[in-house]
Amino acid sequence: MDSNVILYLLIIYFSVANIDAASKKNAFVGFANKFDHKKTFNRSTSSLSNSISRDECNLPDELTEEISRYKPIVEGIINASVNGIFKKRTWRTLARFVDKFGSRIAGSDNLENSIDYMVDLLKKNQLENVHTEPALVPKWVRGRESCWLVSPRLEKLSILGLGSSIGTPAKGITAHAVVVESFEELQKLGKVVEGKIVVFNEPFISYEKTVKYRGYGAIEAAKLGAVATLIRSVTPFSIDSPHTGWQHYQENVTQIPTAAISIEMAETLQRMYQAGDDILIYLYMEARNLPPVMSRNTVGEITGHQHPEKVVVVSGHLDSWDVGQGAMDDGGGAFISWNALALLKVLGLRPRRTLRSILWTAEEEGLVGAAAYFHDHRNNTAAFDFVMESDEGTFQPLGLSFSGSSEAGCILKEILKLMHPLNATQFASPMDGGPDIEFFTNIGIPGAALLNANERYFWYHHSNGDRMTVEDPTNLDMCTALWAASAFVVADLSIDMPR
Amino acid sequence: MDSNVILYLLIIYFSVANIDAASKKNAFVGFANKFDHKKTFNRSTSSLSNSISRDECNLPDELTEEISRYKPIVEGIINASVNGIFKKRTWRTLARFVDKFGSRIAGSDNLENSIDYMVDLLKKNQLENVHTEPALVPKWVRGRESCWLVSPRLEKLSILGLGSSIGTPAKGITAHAVVVESFEELQKLGKVVEGKIVVFNEPFISYEKTVKYRGYGAIEAAKLGAVATLIRSVTPFSIDSPHTGWQHYQENVTQIPTAAISIEMAETLQRMYQAGDDILIYLYMEARNLPPVMSRNTVGEITGHQHPEKVVVVSGHLDSWDVGQGAMDDGGGAFISWNALALLKVLGLRPRRTLRSILWTAEEEGLVGAAAYFHDHRNNTAAFDFVMESDEGTFQPLGLSFSGSSEAGCILKEILKLMHPLNATQFASPMDGGPDIEFFTNIGIPGAALLNANERYFWYHHSNGDRMTVEDPTNLDMCTALWAASAFVVADLSIDMPR
């Protein structure tokens, strides 16, 4: 650990807003609070309608012509990825990766070993300037957990403790339950909640509208004296499958254990409650928050031949939850990101600006790796020309969602026309599905996320079902192609992306 | 236990084909072998195309007119079920039932208690001649079970031991694994299999084509000296969700423990195997086959006013696997069957012939309850005019699938025209989804099963996902309506169903 790292640690600790010295041990909880969970950012306002309409675009003819001249290069990239030497390569490398390491939660040996593996792999694939950059990350450990319905009859529940939750006492918690559908219903119960386990059976509206129950359910229930909470998993579909995810505690509110249960069981408990059954539940969780540990963002590049100091970022996050394999969230995003560069390297395509693949760490705990990276590069943000991330699935690619200036949006639209062979020419705004790069887009750096046919994304998200079976080789090839081609053209344009 | 029951027990024991005295303790395994699993019967040859084409039907005008005169009655039944006094009633009664008892495997107190409850409920609903008829059923107990991938890395597998499987030794089985996609591949491995755990990663073609790996995988692997088998769950879709089901042992072949794993993990293990990884697996199962116990088929009627001795059977099975709630398989089928009669009773509709609702027991272990019932009524099969069962889901009803004489098929087609208000007029042949009543249709008694939009049936089948969430109140109302209306018309016709 050198002095830079120590300085970094100090900066991270004291740059966290709203966290006083007394709550330092909960710094990461506050940190997560500040940035909240990735998918809560823009989704509610995102749409496929163009915020920059076609009429508003009035690119100079020379620029339009310049972009159109990339057509044969883009076609070459697409061919190589979908039918050529990279055919099925993203799927194959991803499968080997997730099979070898399994899930990769922040703070785990699995994640750190997988980062070492990626550094080797990027080097083997001739990426340039391969290195890692440090980030201090939370270490939450699930331990064993179980939950039983004791009354009105005995049944084991499928549960997943929520990230950052504390455990139960060693003998578990046995308590009667109340079941509510909303925070409003909870408030109405008032004193009745005291000493009870609160079961939330909130209906699934959309991820961003429903996730507050996972994020803040334990706080609201604890305020009324609840001893634990069980949250209906935030998903539109279930085969008795619980979904984990980060949750928050609040200063001066008692921390209580909290876990996700399946849609099916939440509905069952609510029916029992409404029928007047006396519901008794036993909950046992060994979950613990350990001191934060060092992790790393993984970086590999193709150095620009004209403006090596200017950077186009192509990224996904390497960490995952500690269930399933993290193949979809976000193995796919990470693997199309480095494979895009590996493909360009094999094709001998070196753009004017530097292409930088970043595999973020500890996204799931509140964009922790990306926050550290942004912090470390905060005095050099002028260097970032364009930022890209894929973190909402790598199903069939449809195009890109974008945030940034109208001018940059118009350029991106023009570039997307080249993606016709992939049938992936859609442009949407604002950006949706690039949580880690929002540090950059929030200060006006233009950025894009992968638009893809991810209707079933939340079926698997943060569950044991996030495994390689979700990923399709051809879709991954197409995503890699779109990713490589659009990043290359942006990085090679005669002009910077306008802010 | 009276003398009739003892006689029945003797008959059941000695009527089982291919079981000699030495293997008597495995009588039920052989029994299941003989009749095999329900869905393997007709599905492969079933289609929505009419085996009896419209042109072949030439019903007498009087009969066509007679059937058409039921239009107002059918409409009344449909209205009462979908919009009237029975609106949401099937769903509500089913929800209360499955919430109260949970899963109901043969041999369990849960099942016997649920049968007592149904006897009371049928009586409360004014069904006539409510009683039970005995059946000796297998008692397989799962106990605790767990499975870990030990090498190349540690990961807990989601498993469900298969019905009739033995357990492992108390310390479990730890062995290296081989992975195959078919019995042919297994044969090619030959001696390599000795001492190994065989993992079957058979692709899902269709239930009836794929289920042989669940049914006979342990036998084929044991012949080559395997110590256990793990079978990819027989389903087209998974969220890391294992599916149980009955499996067979064979005389003179060593019995080895066998369990289902998820699609995802079967694929993972195969990729590891093909990559040359050394796969070590730990399997622990407490499963046991206990001596058979008495269970009961549950019967309730509306006695016919003209031919009380002639019977139209309306049925589903009350037992389920020991996972989930058995809401779909076959709570839905059982509950539309008795609710159909309850609805007719409330509407004061008493047909010429007797309508008999039968809630079968121990279907899952090889149609055991239905076999006993058929055996007990074998000298009186002339009394059975028509038999109906719903056991492949109660999703949106589409019509009926049929087996029997052309003449009976033509009559049923004519009756189905009356189901236009439900948009459920489809006729298919042969019958598919009435396993218990095939004892009757196999000897020429005409019968029908519910045709419904059950494309997702096998997503939940025999898994922890078979819960009330799968069932929709309106679909259930429509199924009850179709069931009640078609059974009533058949039972009330001036002529018997031609054989």
Q: What is the pLDDT of residues B465-498, one digit of tens each?
A: 999 999 999 999 999 999 999 999 999 999 999 9
Strands A228-232 and A307-317, by their bridges, are: unpaired
Region class of B68: left (phi > 0), else alpha (psi between -120 and 50), else beta: alpha
Name the pLDDT band for B55 (thresholds 50, 70, 90). low
d(C-alpha B145, C-alpha B168), whole Å = 9
pLDDT, mean of residues B264-291: 98
Cβ distance of B324 and A469 shorter than 8 Å: no
Please give the Cα distance from B157 to B238 (Å, whole number).
14
A464–B240 CB contact, under 8 Å: yes
Q: What is the mean pLDDT of chain A?
A: 91
**Yes or no, beta carbons of B152 and A100 under 8 Å apart:** yes
Catalytic, A389? Answer no
Terminal alpha carbon distance of chain B: 37
Best interface-test mutation with A: which of B264, B277, B320, B322 has the largest number of A CBs within 10 A?
A: B264
Q: What angle do CA B232, B236, B241 make, to 5 degrees?
A: 55
Q: Which of B145, B202, B301, B363 is catalytic?
A: B363
Q: What is the pLDDT of residue B382?
A: 98
Rounded to an integer, what distance in angstroms lies between the CA atom of residue A307 and that of residue A493? 11
Question: What is the pLDDT at residue A434?
Answer: 98
Q: What is the pLDDT of residue A3?
A: 38
pLDDT in tens, B148-194: 999 999 999 999 999 999 999 999 999 999 999 999 999 999 999 99
ipTM: 0.90
Interchain proximity B324–A459, CB inside 8 Å = no
pLDDT tens per residue, range A340-389? 999 999 999 999 999 999 999 999 999 999 999 999 999 999 999 999 99
Q: Give dist(CA B408, CA B386) in Å, integer.
A: 9
Domain A143-286 has CATH 3.10.129.10: no
- Per the listing, tokens 């201090």 go with A136
Q: Where are the domains of chain B?
A: 3-138+291-492, 143-286
Q: Say which CATH architecture domain A3-139+291-492 belongs to.
A: 3-Layer(aba) Sandwich (3.40)
- Helices (DSSP H) in A128-204: which residue ranges? 183-189
Among the partner-chain residues A240, A459, A460, the one whose CB lies closest to the CB of B465 is A240
Question: What pLDDT digit, counting tens, does each position of B308-352 carry?
Answer: 999 999 999 999 999 999 999 999 999 999 999 999 999 999 999
> Is a pLDDT exceeding 70 seen at residue B142?
yes
Nearest CA in chain A to B278: A100
What percentage of chain B carries pLDDT values higher than 90?
89
- State the burial class of residue B284 (Cβ atoms within 10 Å of its Cβ: 0-12, 13-18, 19+): buried
Q: Is the pLDDT of residue A50 over 60?
A: no
Tell me the average pLDDT of chain B: 91
pLDDT value at B113 more than 70: yes
* Region of poorest pLDDT, from A465-479, B55-69, B111-125: B55-69
pLDDT of B41 strictly over 80: no
- Whole-number pLDDT of residue B56: 80
Instruction: List the one residue out of B407, B403, B390 whose CA is nearest residue B482.
Output: B390
- What's the half-sphere exposure (Cβ side, CA atoms, 13 Å) at B155? 25
Residue B24's pLDDT is 34
Check CB contact under 8 Å for B240 and A95: no
Condensed to tens digits (0 to 9), the pLDDT of residues A376-391 reads 999 999 999 999 999 9
Q: Write out pLDDT tens, residues B418-429.
A: 999 999 999 999
Using left for φ > 0, alpha for ψ between -120 and 50, and beta otherwise, residue B222 falls in alpha
* C-alpha–C-alpha distance, residues B265 and B222, integer Å: 22
Cβ pair B467:A95 closer than 8 A: no
Q: What is the pLDDT of residues A91-122, one digit of tens each?
A: 999 999 999 999 999 999 999 999 999 999 99
Task: Kindly report the three-state secondary structure assignment for every residue of B145-198.
Answer: EEEEEEECCCEEECEEECECCCCCCCCCEEEEEEEECCHHHHHHHHHHHCCCEE
pLDDT value of residue A8? 39
Between B210 and B29, name the one with better pLDDT. B210
Q: For residue B94, give the amino acid letter.
A: L
Summarize the confidence of residues A65-94 as an average pLDDT.
98
Residue A268 is nearest to which of B101, B271, B468, comparing CB atoms?
A: B468
Comparing B43 with A460, the larger pLDDT belongs to: A460
Interface of chain B toward chain A, CB-CB under 8 angstroms: 95-96, 99-102, 152-153, 155, 158, 238-241, 263-265, 267-268, 271-272, 275, 324-325, 459-460, 463-465, 467-469
- Among A145, A363, A414, A438, the one annotated catalytic: A363
Query: Which of B433, B427, B320 minimizes the C-alpha distance to B40?
Result: B433
* Contact assessment for residue B444 and residue B304, using Cβ atoms and an 8 Å cutoff: no
Give mean pLDDT, residues A138-155: 98
Q: How many CA atoms lie within 13 A of A181 on its CB side?
A: 9
> Strands, DSSP E only, in A165-225?
173-180, 197-200
- Summarize the confidence of residues A459-471 as an average pLDDT: 98
Edge to edge, the sheet with strand B447-452 lists B128-141, B288-302, B353-360, B307-317, B384-389, B447-452, B397-403, B426-428
Number of continuous H segments (helices) and E segments (strands) in chain B = 16, 16
Amino acid occupying residue B49 = S
Minimum distance, in Å, between the CA of residue A107 and any CA atom of chain B: 17
Whether A3-139+291-492 shares its CATH topology with A143-286 is answered: no
From CA B397, how far away is CA B426, in angstroms rounded? 9
| pLDDT tens, position by position, A249-289 | 999 999 999 999 999 999 999 999 999 999 999 999 999 99
**Residue A56: per-residue pLDDT:** 80
The answer to whether the Cβ–Cβ distance between B463 and A263 falls below 8 Å is no
Å between A80 CA and nearest CA of chain B? 25
Question: Cβ contacts (< 8 Å) between B92 and chain A: which residues?
Answer: none
CATH of region B3-138+291-492? 3.40.630.10
Looking at the partner chain, which of B101, B264, B467 has a beta carbon nearest the beta carbon of A467?
Answer: B264
Which residues of A sit within 8 Å Cβ distance of B?
A: 95-96, 99-102, 152-153, 155, 158, 238-241, 263-265, 267-268, 271-272, 275, 324-325, 459-460, 463-465, 467-469
